[in-house]
Structure formats: C-alpha cells, structure tokens
Amino acid sequence: MLAKIEELLHEVESMTAANAEELEALRIKYLSKKGAVNALMADFRNVPAEQKKEVGMKLNQLKNLAQERIAALKEAFDNQDTDTEGLDLTRTAYPIGLGTRHPLSIVKNEIIDIFGRMGFTIAEGPEVEDDMHVFTMLNFAADHPARDMQDTFFVESNAEDVTKNIILRTHTSSVQARTMEKTQPPIRVICPGRVYRNEAISYRAHCFFHQIEGLYVDKNVSFTDLKQVLLQFAQEMFGPQTKIRLRPSYFPFTEPSAEMDISCHICGGEGCPFCKHTGWVEILGCGMVDPAVLDACGIDSKIYSGYAFGLGVERITNLKYKVKDLRMFSENDTRFLKEFESAY
C-alpha cells in the first residue's frame, strides 16, 4: 500500500488541468466516494497493525495534498477571464448609447441662461414649506379665496392657526419671500423649482410641475423695466421676430398685475389651431411687487420698489417642442426621450 500511496503522491503533485471540465474529472478520480483516496481509506483496515501509523500518516498527506491542488487549480480558473479567449484588441469597440437631457431640463437651463445674461442669480428654497412663506408674507389673508385657488397639499394642518400649516409649496414665490426676508436690495434673482397642486392629472394638468419665478427689487424700479426684460426673454427664447402683449390680471402679491402673451411662433401671429386663431399664446404672469409684500418681508416700500414674474417650464417646453400631453414629461417613456438626443 505504501508503494501505491507514493505513486499517487507523485501524480497529485504534477496534476494539471486545461479547463474546468478536466479539473472536475480529476476531483472525481481522486476525491469522490469511489475515488482513489477513498479506495485506499477503505483498504486501510487490512494494513498490519505495525504499519498502520506510517500508512495512516501517508494517507492523510495524500488526501490533504489532493484537496490543496484541486482547490488551487479551481481558484486559478475562477480568476481567469475566460471571456477574453479569441478577443481581437484591434476591433472597433461596440457603440455605447448615450443618455439624453430631459426636455424640461433643456428648457429650464435655457431660461436660466437667458436671465443669467441679464444679471439674475439663482435662489433656491425648500419644497416642504410653511404657510408663512407660501401665503401670508405674499399678501394672502387667512380667508383669502386665492388660497382655495391653489389646491394646496397639506403635510400638517392647523385649523386654529393657518399660519402654522406645513404644506408642499404651490409656487416658487416662497423662495422670493425667503430671499427678501434675508437680503436687503438690490435683489435680482430667479427661483427655479418643482411645485405641487392638488389637481386631477390629465393631458393639460398635473399634480406637480416646474416653475421659474423672477424678482427684481431696487430703487426706482418701474413697470417699463419689467416689460423690457420680458420682451428680451421672449425674443431670445422664441426668436427676434417675437412680439409681446400684456393684459391686466390679478395676483395677490403684485399690483398692478398682468399676464403676458407672445405672438404665435408657429403661424407668425396670423392665426392657427395652436393659438386658437388669435395669433397670441399666453406664457407667464407678472406685475409690480405689492408694497404690502415688501413691508412683510422687511423691505421699506417707501424707498424700494420691484417687479416679479413667473412662468411654467412645462408651458414653455410645450410651446418650443409642441408636446401635447403634459403626462409625457413624467412617464419616462424612452421613445419620447430619444427625440431629444440632438438637443443640446
């Protein structure tokens, strides 16, 4: 038996395998229940008593060596990159599909860039807000009907004191309030961000959307300044031939207030189904900051005046890319997103 063990030791020491299949065959040959090592173990009971110690040590040596060699070969196969077999390093790489910017991001960045060139900086604020900054400081009385118009999402509601309500902001005007509260004029900021309103989701409305609001507060700011800034924006966004018109409107935080239309960039103002044959398309609301808002935010309305405006990013994106269904902006349909691969 000693001679047989020595023979197997030499075989195991020189054992090699070209692939995983050969390695498995070697494991079965030496270490399986019917393998060579177990066969010797079974025959060990026939060894004379005086040789059992020596033969037993040799058998254990053989078993341990076989296990170590097979484990080492298996580890080598596991670390080997078998996918590189036949790899042609000179072959042109497979094309990698690149992602695209979301259309809302494209338009938002373009709007920010336009106002940035006019001296506006970016101000940001929390999406979960308190009533004070969303409504009260912006001239909304506790029983003001405009509170109902906003269709607010309430996080924490206090019927006894509405100013303590915690809500999802309904407009980014809350960022304007926070900016005026912390900063003395001159102030020239735009406030991009997501806002929330409790509305039924349809092709023309959603429970969340994106706004960019602007604020300029300084001495001797006039409505003429506002009109010139908005005309510059409209012509850079939709083309130098774009015209604007301002129609009287109402917002609690501006007085006077207006809504701004642009000449339809599809028909050139001649009238088409897109502009309902009027030649005009509404894009934003604006006005002079109400003196009560300035005073509520700690700015002396007798010294300073200002204007504000707000526009919906989805609205501008619809006009620019003729997207008919607002839901497409949030459904992550890759067929829709791929249409913007070449945009910026």
For 121-156, write each residue's pLDDT tens digit. 999 999 999 989 999 899 888 777 766 666 888 888
50 within some domain: yes
Q: What is the pLDDT of residue 294?
A: 95
Q: Select the more confidently predicted residue: 86 or 26.
A: 26
Average pLDDT over residues 226-234: 96
Task: Work out the pLDDT band at 229, boundaries 50, 70, 90.
Answer: very high
Q: What is the pLDDT of residue 148?
A: 66
The upper half-sphere exposure of residue 170, i.e. CA atoms within 13 Å in the direction of its Cβ, equals: 23
Are 16 and 135 members of one domain? no
Are 73 and 107 members of one domain? no
Where in the sequence is the domain holding 147, given as residue range(s)? 103-340
58 within some domain: yes
What proportions of the chain, in percent to the nearest 5, are helix, strand and coil?
Answer: 45, 20, 35
Does position 269 have pLDDT exceeding 80, yes or no?
Answer: no
Task: Work out the pLDDT band at 57, boundaries 50, 70, 90.
Answer: confident
233 within some domain: yes
* Three-class SS state of 150: coil
Q: What is the pLDDT of residue 99?
A: 74
272 vs 280: CA distance, rounded Å? 10
CB contact at 8 A, 310 and 178: no
46 within some domain: yes
Are 242 and 167 members of one domain? yes
97 within some domain: no
Tokens coding 9: 């030791």
Q: Poorest-confidence range of 155-159, 216-220, 294-298?
A: 155-159
Average pLDDT over residues 309-332: 88
Q: Poorest-confidence range of 141-150, 209-218, 228-237, 332-341?
A: 141-150
**Bridge partners (DSSP) listed for residue 245:** 261
What rounded mean pLDDT belongs to the chain? 86
Nearest to 235 by CA among 258, 265, 267: 265
Q: What is the pLDDT of residue 331?
A: 86
Are 67 and 164 members of one domain? no
Are 216 and 307 members of one domain? yes
Are 132 and 217 members of one domain? yes
94 within some domain: no
* Three-class SS state of 98: coil
Are 55 and 167 members of one domain? no
279 within some domain: yes
* Domain count within the chain: 2
144 within some domain: yes
CATH number of the structural domain spanning residue 303: 3.30.930.10
Does position 87 have pLDDT exceeding 80, yes or no?
Answer: no
Are 52 and 178 members of one domain? no
Q: What is the pLDDT of residue 30?
A: 82
pTM beyond 0.95, yes or no? no
Are 42 and 179 members of one domain? no
Does position 264 have pLDDT exceeding 70, yes or no?
Answer: yes
Are 114 and 164 members of one domain? yes
Among the three residues 63, 79, 95, which one is the final residue of a domain in this structure? 79
Burial pattern 256-286, b for ≥16 Cβ within 10 A else e, equals: ebbbbbbbbbeeebeeeeebeeebbbbbbbb
Q: Select the more confidently predicted residue: 79 or 203.
A: 203
Task: Work out the pLDDT band at 116, boundaries 50, 70, 90.
Answer: very high
Q: Per-residue DSSP letters for 154-214?
A: EEE--SS-GGG-EEE-SSTHHHHHHHHHH-PSPEEEEEEEEEE------SS--SEEEEEEE
Are 70 and 126 members of one domain? no
Does position 343 have pLDDT exceeding 70, yes or no?
Answer: no
For 158-214, write each residue's pLDDT tens digit. 777 777 888 899 999 999 999 999 999 999 999 999 999 888 888 878 889 999 999
Are 51 and 154 members of one domain? no
CB contact at 8 A, 155 and 167: yes
